[in-house]
Structure 1
Amino acid sequence: MDANTEEQGTENTQEVKVPIEAIRVIDPAVIANLPHGTRVLTIAAHGASFWTRTARLDVEENGTRKAYFLKTTYGETGREMMSSEFACMSRVRSVMPDLVPAPIGWGTYVGMPDVHFLLCEFRPMTGDVPAAVDLAGKIAELHRKSSVGGAKAKFGSDVPTFHGNVRVDHGWSHFWEEYFARTTWSLFELELKTRGDDTDVISNLVPLFEKVIPRLLRPLQMGNHSIQPCLIHGDLWDGNTGSDAETGVSIIFDAASFYAHNEYELGVWRQPWNKINKSYREEYYKHFPKSWPEEDWDDRNALYAIRVNLLDSILYKDDPSYRHMLISGMRELVDKFPGGFQEWEASQTKGDAEST
């Protein structure tokens, strides 16, 4: 498995706190996750990341050479990141075993108690972004296979996820609108705390939450209409995908998974910097139809993209472009839906009356 920086085009101004020794020595805690009798041959830095150090571990197991991918982090946040990623990758793999590298284990170094690690199967990559026809179909399959109905149908997660090193707490809700509004409000609070107050952000907050979110998300679960929570990757940009150099199949990694409206996955596919873009969205809908009301699908996608920009604005607090994109997206939807859900509901009632 290759490691990548969080987003292409974003300059790395973060200092990696993980000591370089973490990927120069083989800690006993890592060895404990390998099959008994495994002989370690080499460890070498592999890939790049803003907040971690990563390496390829080559070993010999019963006379056969094998490789593993090792990711290391530092401090309490780093420990939570490794625990979360292991849980998320394990959940995705339980649904689609060939789609993600097998997570082997995670833990804390014996020799360096502030260093934590994730150990995975190593999958060699071509360096190319998987083709839309393959990747979009696989993601749609993941969503279909993991859909949950009935009394167990809840949106969210009992596991916190991380956008870079930004923690997201989810909780559970039977209603997608409630889940999305609650967790997104918390992220706006964090964005304003991180960057400082901004008149444009604050002035658009009330109409976004009182008009736009109910208008676009409430109809999804109204009357005879419903959506089923499904397991999503959670941050599926081109740097978190690859093609297996040996088999050619699509691979995804660095999951931040939770149970969501399937279309939320496509919010990051709207971003101008993401090579997974409009053509992937179009291919996806060939495999997984748009939710009702279908005419709202592009605006829902724009709403989900706002949350992506929100997370990036927190993560890259010194880059003004992410807040600019956030404000632009908020303004566009606030201006488009001043009447909110009430106006839409009235239009539906009028339409029903005219059809009888």
Structure 2
Amino acid sequence: MAQEDRPLFWNRVNEVEERWIESVDDNVLASAYLLKLPEGTQVVGAFPHGASYWTRTAEIETQQVDGSSMSFFVAKGDVGLAMVSGEYVSMSELHKTIPDATPAPIGWGTSIISASLLTAGSLDIQAFTAKVAELHTKGVSPNGKYGFAVPTFMGQMPQYITWTDSWEEFFTITVQRLMSNIEESQGKDPELSGLMAQVVAKVIPRLLRPLETGGREIKPRLVHGDLYSGNVSVDIASTSPILYDATCLYAHNECESTSLDHLYQY
């Protein structure tokens, strides 16, 4: 999609120059051997693919020994290896839980590589929602707590990932950190600060505390963390839904919506 044809929210300059994805660097070429990509893989070239606020994304086109083509997808930028590491671990957890609905992450370093052939074809909504339900059924927190093992990011903002016993506490700290980031970047507004104080003091406890008191409990579930139309595609071979670009947490499963994503973005 040409930049002038993109939706308005993509109409901004990406600070990572496109030249960084016009060739395949040595680390990626080494990955083909060290990470056991198909033996005999030959790189044809690297080409811009997709769009991102934070990085440059590319498709690496390869030729296999039988003459067939296979594509791998990479991202490159200077916003920090922690973002790439967080996505690699996130996608690894998702792939262990729903392997038929996620690309297989191969490695991370200068680039993150995943093997899957995708298309922008029509998504089967029933199949997609069934996979999300399967993720939330199988993806149980390893220690019964809310959080994640490594830092993950919503855009460039690190998420709160410290292992926490209650969803009320975890969500409260998440919202407070969000507000701090907003005030740091946009300046303080007394009215908004007062409203946020009311949300933390009254709204969150009244809505979330009953979920885990009076004999009731909820179990933290693995959530994709940034599940919206831009991070879902269709597998060309099977036409099954494919989820990618995850920023995982073990959270309340209803956190798996665009509402929290919108909070982070604004």
Calculate the TM-score normalised by the size of structure 2: 0.89
Q: 1:24 aligns with which of 22, 30, 50?
A: 22
Structure 2 Cα separation of the partners of residues 8 and 201 of structure 1? 29
Map of 1:85 onto structure 2: 87
Aligned to 2:124: 131
The residue that corresponds to 2:58 in the other structure is 55
Indicate the structure (1 or 2) with the bigger Cα radius of gyration. Answer: 1
Give the corresponding residue for 2:11.
12
Tell me how far 1:127 sits from its aligned partner: 4.1
Retained in 2: the 8 A contact 1:159–1:169?
no
Deviations 1:9-34 (Å, cap 9, x if unpaired)?
414324322x3332122211001211
Structure 2 stretches lacking a partner, 5+ long = none
Aligned residues: 257
Structure 2 matches for 1:1-356, cutoff 5 A?
8-17=7-16, 19-34=17-32, 35=37, 37-63=40-66, 64-74=68-78, 77-108=79-110, 117-128=111-122, 130-148=123-141, 152-266=143-257, 268=258, 305=259, 307-313=260-266
8 Å CA contact retained: 2:46, 2:59 = yes
Bigger CA drift: 20-29 or 33-42?
A: 33-42
Cα distance change on mapping 1:148 and 1:43 into 2, 3 Å: closer
CA distance in 1, matches of 2:20, 2:246: 23
Structure 2 distance, partners of 1:163, 1:224, is 33
Write out per-residue CA displacement over residues 258-313 of structure 1, whole angstroms, 9 at most, x where no aligned residue.
Answer: 100111113x1xxxxxxxxxxxxxxxxxxxxxxxxxxxxxxxxxxxx3x4333111
Structure 1 stretch displaced more, 161-170 or 216-225: 161-170
Distance in 2, Cα, partners of 1:105 & 1:41? 20
Contact 2:166 / 2:212 at 8 angstroms: preserved in 1? yes
Tell me which amino acid in the other structure corresponds to 2:129: A
- Greater share of residues in helix: 1
Q: Could you tell me how far apart the structure 2 residues matched to 1:67 and 1:11 are? A: 25
2:71 corresponds to which letter in structure 1? Answer: A
* Aligned residue identity for 1:247: S
Q: For the residues of structure 2 that align with 1:199 and 1:127, how far apart are their CA atoms?
A: 47
1:188–1:310 contact (8 Å) kept in structure 2: no
Q: Which amino acid in the other structure matches residue 27 of structure 1?
A: D
Question: Could you tell me which amino acid in structure 2 is paired with residue 67 of structure 1?
Answer: S
Question: Aligned with 1:98: secondary structure?
Answer: helix
Identical columns (%): 34
Taking only aligned residues, the RMSD between alpha carbons, in angstroms, comes to 2.1
- Conserved in 2, the CA contact under 8 Å of 1:15 and 1:51? yes
Contact 2:64–2:70 (Cα < 8 Å) also in 1: yes
1:60-107 residue CA offsets vs partner (Å, 9 max, x unmatched): 333343221121112xx3322111111111110011101111111111
